[in-house]
Structure 1
């Protein structure tokens, strides 16, 4: 299969491919997503096949607005309306109860709930609006690999497996959206992102919990990214929690370092990737760093700076811990 790159003038062509059940990757402000018509079970199953993703992992339903979402949910509760008004379009995904029979099990994992998101990207908004139906939107990468933040990343992973990629340049945020579950009595953030639990709590005027484990129903996770290995390059990743510990990591040709500029300035390794000057820039560049070193066959170990402060640190560390399988560098 030839994988075509679409620009902003070719959205109608991408729409027609989706209508036919083909797969098209699309840009968002977080990461690139892999789109298929959400109501077409065969097309949705093709997403799992293209990514090599386990089929018991639910998919996010990407909509153009609240009205489109309302066709598929049993109710849009008042607290959901508050969050939608404040954060949509944007990097917040909301889990709600769905109307029975409106979405295939391949989307919901057989659960009575689904996760909905309205991304902040003009091309994707136009795509879904013209399609007049939602699309699923998992990250457009090979399963377990770092999520894609450019069209080039998508092409690298999925060339020949999908019909097209809509290119709108690098993503603005670089980490996937926050997922909040509103299908339960007390809202709970199942996946951290740029929108923090504190911000959600402030809008809702009530306490918002933060999930510490894996929320599952009959063995099926309620949200993407909660059950399987994610974001991992081929070489093992180690989290370096203290800046001074970078002096103790291996400095051979097979070791690589991703950290803030001020840390890299004092590191002897020749294999370096700048995460930027701030934690926000680091969050934006994390997946790019992991992908960069994944394409270097001589790299056998990757050491990445960890953070404990800043609004985005929880989201950053969530992704980094999964990439590293929880392995932290321990100074000997």
Structure 2
């Protein structure tokens, strides 16, 4: 069931369903999330079951803002406060020490919790409506609204395709960002970037006011975090990354046998068999991020067997897109 997410009655209906322990899908600026009351172990278990996700793989909890973070975190280090001030609401998740007894199921049993404040107006309206209930719902656990490990959804129809017509889905249009949030771990004394997003390393580091570390630079074990498995975001068709020259050479070698292959590339193709489905990759990273998951889903819908993608530049601006593509191809 898809509801107009901009209609107050739909927001109230969704909040009531969440308070009753049901799941509700809703848009954020990054991707659509599959939401449940973060403080209800039973409701959160419904997310793991619906997605086919291991229960020890933690979920990100969405809150209205920094004031709500203290409900879930017993300590908010200064660096995390600076990140919240700079990027909330927005596409950044911070991992903090979890307050005992709060959102244990959503945290996958860990002593840390990932928190985010989404900027999408429908997500904000839903969080406010949940906070106005009696008793209030402080936060919504909400991983991407898709089967575990598959392509993330960026429209309400993508979600309905995953879970059918019985799930309540708030339609807020296509997601503006298109890939999941960056994740910064603030539990180990230094800020560590666990997952890139559209926010560049330089922007996050500037907001930290100190060095932003990479996971391989820190010896202490990292907390488990969403979207950091080697294989993730995968379509049905097999994905292969290659540079533009190798991609064209492979098409030339296959010739007429290249049918059933889809190509997403920045460089135009010099030649390709009639059966090759080609989509132009935007030249700018933010535009490519916005289209990435929709393109992969469209290729799957077209029934291709292989998806060949021109590897984007290995630069900070493209880090989020490149991360998702590498995991999709793993």
With normalisation by structure 1, the TM-score equals 0.89
Trace 1:216-231 onto structure 2 (pairs within 5 A): 222-227=224-229, 229-231=231-233
Deviation per CA, 1:201-241: give whole Å up to 9, x if none. 21222111122499996xx952111236311111211001x
Counterpart pick for 2:186 among 152, 173, 182: 182
Q: How far apart, CA to CA, are the structure 2 residues paired with 1:277 and 1:227? A: 27
Q: How many Å apart are 1:264 and its aligned residue?
A: 3.3
Counterpart pick for 2:172 among 168, 175, 180: 168
Counterpart pick for 2:290 among 284, 287, 294: 284
Trace 1:140-289 onto structure 2 (pairs within 5 A): 140-160=145-165, 162=167, 164-212=168-216, 222-227=224-229, 229-240=231-242, 242-250=243-251, 251=255, 252-260=258-266, 263-269=267-273, 270-289=276-295
Query: Is the partner of 1:239 in helix, strand or coil?
Result: strand
1:328 maps to what in 2? none
Q: How far apart, CA to CA, are the structure 1 residues paired with 2:220 and 2:24? A: 29
1:34 maps to what in 2? 34
Change over 3 Å in CA distance of 1:247–1:213 after alignment to 2: farther
Trace 1:54-73 onto structure 2 (pairs within 5 A): 54-73=54-73
Query: Is the partner of 1:289 in helix, strand or coil?
Result: helix
Asked if structure 2 preserves the Cα contact closer than 8 Å seen for 1:190 and 1:211, the reply is yes
The 10-residue stretch of structure 1 (225-234 or 110-119) with the greater mean CA deviation from structure 2: 225-234
Q: How many Å apart are 1:265 and its aligned residue?
A: 4.7
Q: How far apart, CA to CA, are the structure 2 residues paired with 1:287 and 1:83? A: 27
Query: Is the partner of 2:302 in helix, strand or coil?
Result: coil
Q: Is 1:295 aligned to 2:289, yes or no?
A: no
**Alignment: residue pair count:** 315
Q: How many Å apart are 1:249 and its aligned residue?
A: 2.2
Deviation per CA, 1:57-114: give whole Å up to 9, x if none. 000010011111111211222211111111100000000001100222x211111100
1:43 maps to what in 2? 43
Q: How many Å apart are 1:161 and its aligned residue?
A: 5.8
Change over 3 Å in CA distance of 1:215–1:158 after alignment to 2: farther
Q: How far apart, CA to CA, are the structure 2 residues paired with 1:179 and 1:145? A: 19
Asked if structure 1 preserves the Cα contact closer than 8 Å seen for 2:79 and 2:191, the reply is no
With normalisation by structure 2, the TM-score equals 0.90
Asked if structure 2 preserves the Cα contact closer than 8 Å seen for 1:25 and 1:35, the reply is yes
Q: Give the CA RMSD over aligned residues.
A: 2.0
Asked if structure 2 preserves the Cα contact closer than 8 Å seen for 1:149 and 1:170, the reply is yes
Asked if structure 1 preserves the Cα contact closer than 8 Å seen for 2:248 and 2:269, the reply is no
Runs of 5+ consecutive residues of structure 2 not aligned to the other structure? 132-137
Q: How far apart, CA to CA, are the structure 1 residues paired with 2:225 and 2:249? A: 38
The 10-residue stretch of structure 1 (32-41 or 220-229) with the greater mean CA deviation from structure 2: 220-229
Query: Is the partner of 2:307 in helix, strand or coil?
Result: strand
Asked if structure 2 preserves the Cα contact closer than 8 Å seen for 1:177 and 1:192, the reply is yes
Q: Is 1:123 aligned to 2:122, yes or no?
A: yes
Change over 3 Å in CA distance of 1:130–1:322 after alignment to 2: same
